[in-house]
Amino acid sequence: MIRPLIVIRRVPKIDFMRWHLFGFAFSILLSAVSIGLFATIGLNYGIDFKGGTLLEAKTQGPADLAAMRAKLDALHIGDASLQGFGAPDEVLIRLPEQPGGDAGQMKAVELAKQALGPGIDYRRTEVVGPSVGAELIRAGVLATVLALGAILVYVWFRFEWQFGVGATIATLHDTITTIGLFAIFRLEFDLTTLAAILTVAGYSINDTVVIYDRVREAMRKYRTMSFRELINLALNETLSRTILTVSTVALAVLSLLFFGGEVLKGFSIAMLWGIVIGTYSSLFIAAPIVYYIQPSRRAMAREPTTGEGEGGRSSSRPERRPRGAKS
């Protein structure tokens, strides 16, 4: 018989609720800074959102970025950006939006290729107009709002409305702080980053739902236990699963960060931050919020308790309290 992998063989007794007020204060400060930076300096939007042209070039031998930048500056087509891309002979060239629509953009591309001279292999050319960029911004905002709304509705129907409020606040916190991270470090914000933010929201709600499910199960099982101890019990019982999930996802994301190249850098950074902040918010934001807006224990008591044995049969065993639990 295959035995499950267990990181923590005995359920710990960590008092997570002892630190929840510090968690609230830290999250409020972090969210306020993120919103402030977004409102004042904004994001470093990529080609996908602000329009322009992206060229992926391969030079003969290591690329001389300074010489290439000087040649492009001499064209007076705006502030061109050059960046190493993986190998020393691979370069990403970003040209700003040009007047004249797509025709103006393509003309700038031809001028840039002529200025850089022969011997350069252009592997990719992407042109995004300003109208397309504005439309992508609207679509991205709408997708994020709809995703958060769908999460609220799902948790509301899956549990009680109190759980839905906690899950939505925690997920919104993760989204805001991830955007704040990109505003602080001026990382490029493009479509792949937006996809990472939506992925972070899904990861965060998955972790939160697991904890909420254990809280609801404990509410049915230990009907006289104080709610503070009940939340601590649920968090400690899911801690092993949380460690396993964070570790495996972090390994995959680190692989993308170090070996995925420049294209996946923003996605990887957003995901790595999302893993950390999503786990933190599940432990110190989502669960403590339910402590302050407690669901009805009578409503929970009327629902059938599902056992964890074979077939998921209902359990009619008397209540058993964990050792050391106070009434």
Q: What is the pLDDT of residues 1-52, one digit of tens each?
A: 445 555 566 778 889 999 999 999 999 999 999 999 999 988 888 777 777 7
- Confidence category of residue 173, pLDDT binned at 50, 70, 90: very high
Cα 45 to Cα 186: distance, rounded to the nearest angstrom: 9
Of 43 and 309, the structure prediction assigns the larger pLDDT to: 43
Range 169-175 average pLDDT: 91
Range 101-125 average pLDDT: 83
Looking at the structure, give the CATH architecture of the domain made up of residues 16-43+133-302. Up-down Bundle (1.20)
Q: Give Dmax (Cα) for the chain.
A: 82
What ranges do the domains of the chain cover? 16-43+133-302, 52-128
CATH for the 52-128 domain, from 3.30.70.3400, 3.40.50.2300, 3.40.50.2000, 3.40.47.10: 3.30.70.3400
Residue 80 to residues 21, 98, 133, 208, Cα–Cα distance (Å) = 47, 11, 18, 44
Range 283-308 average pLDDT: 72
Closest CA to 209 of 255, 254, 247, 242: 242
Confidence at residue 36, expressed as pLDDT on a 0 to 100 scale:
94
Cα 78 to Cα 105: distance, rounded to the nearest angstrom: 12
Confidence at residue 140, expressed as pLDDT on a 0 to 100 scale:
77
In 222-264, alpha helices (H): 227-237, 239-259
Confidence at residue 202, expressed as pLDDT on a 0 to 100 scale:
85
Range in 97-106, 174-183, 296-305, 306-315 with the lowest mean pLDDT: 306-315
- Beta strands, E only, the chain: 44-45, 52-58, 81-85, 87-95, 121-128, 188-189
- Confidence category of residue 139, pLDDT binned at 50, 70, 90: confident
Residue 223 to residues 121, 164, 168, Cα–Cα distance (Å) = 70, 22, 26
Confidence at residue 226, expressed as pLDDT on a 0 to 100 scale:
87
- Confidence category of residue 298, pLDDT binned at 50, 70, 90: low
pLDDT single digits (tens) 224-279? 888 899 999 999 999 888 888 899 999 999 998 888 766 688 889 999 999 999 99
Range 97-124 average pLDDT: 82
Confidence at residue 9, expressed as pLDDT on a 0 to 100 scale:
67
CB 174 within 8 A of CB 204: yes
Residue 187 CB-density burial (10 A; 0-12 exposed, 13-18 middle, 19+ buried) = middle
Confidence at residue 1, expressed as pLDDT on a 0 to 100 scale:
46
Closest CA to 179 of 253, 249, 277, 92: 277
Instruction: Provide the whole-model pTM.
Output: 0.74
Cα 245 to Cα 5: distance, rounded to the nearest angstrom: 12
CA dihedral 96, 102, 107, 111 (to 10 degrees): 30
Range 108-131 average pLDDT: 81
Average pLDDT, the chain: 81
Of 24 and 68, the structure prediction assigns the larger pLDDT to: 24
Q: How many CA atoms lie within 13 A of 194 on its CB side?
A: 19
Pairing of strands 52-58, 121-128: antiparallel
CA angle at residue 196 from 191 to 202, to 5 degrees?
135
